[in-house]
Amino acid sequence: MALRDIITLPDKRLRLVSDPVKSVDAAVRALVSDMFETMYDAPGVGLAAIQVGIPKRIVTIDTAKKDEPKRPQILINPAVVWSSDEKAAYEEGCLSIPEYYEEVERPARVKVKAIDLDGKPVELDADGLLATVLQHEIDHTNGVLFIDYISKLKRDRVIKKFTKAAKRTDD
């Protein structure tokens, strides 16, 4: 297990559409292990492989609160196959857009299909925080960020702020 660097805005890799995982092998298992270690260290409730610079459709999630036992979930090649018409708003943040939070409205309930680390099919029916996290992380695999759901004015401000910060660190 190893901590990996989380790429941040304005890194163009965050806009890549990730490739499906063809087979769950030792490399995928090692990546998943590293992703969990990185996610817990950050700390975060979800991480997509692209956030550590790997354009594969892999997502790690754990929505357990600090005082609860961990509930790690791994989804490989996840896809939302159904979403409710009913909406719910949550304040979202992202490890790739550190210390920025904004309320985002998404479907309140979703059904997600994926495979697990054994290559077996998984189906999740989710609502509440888990539904939001699933949609947020699956969006990452499609090159979509949560700031894409906020007003253009707010989105432009955030991108400008992170672009300026990146230029300062490059100098």
In the residue annotation, 137 being an active-site residue is answered as yes
The pLDDT of residue 168 is: 83
Per the residue annotation, which of 91, 99, 102, 137 is the catalytic one? 137
- Delineate the domains of the chain, giving CATH numbers in brackets: 12-170 (3.90.45.10)
Per this entry, what is the length of the chain? 171
**Tokens 């490890």 correspond to what residue?**
95
Q: pLDDT by residue (tens digit) across 74-85? A: 999 999 999 999
pLDDT at 137 over 80: yes
Distance CA 46, CA 165 (A): 24
When pLDDT is averaged across residues 119-145 and rounded to a whole number, the result is 97
| Measured distance CA(98)–CA(15) in Å, rounded | 17
- Per-residue pLDDT reduced to its tens digit, 27-64: 999 999 999 999 999 999 999 999 999 999 999 999 99
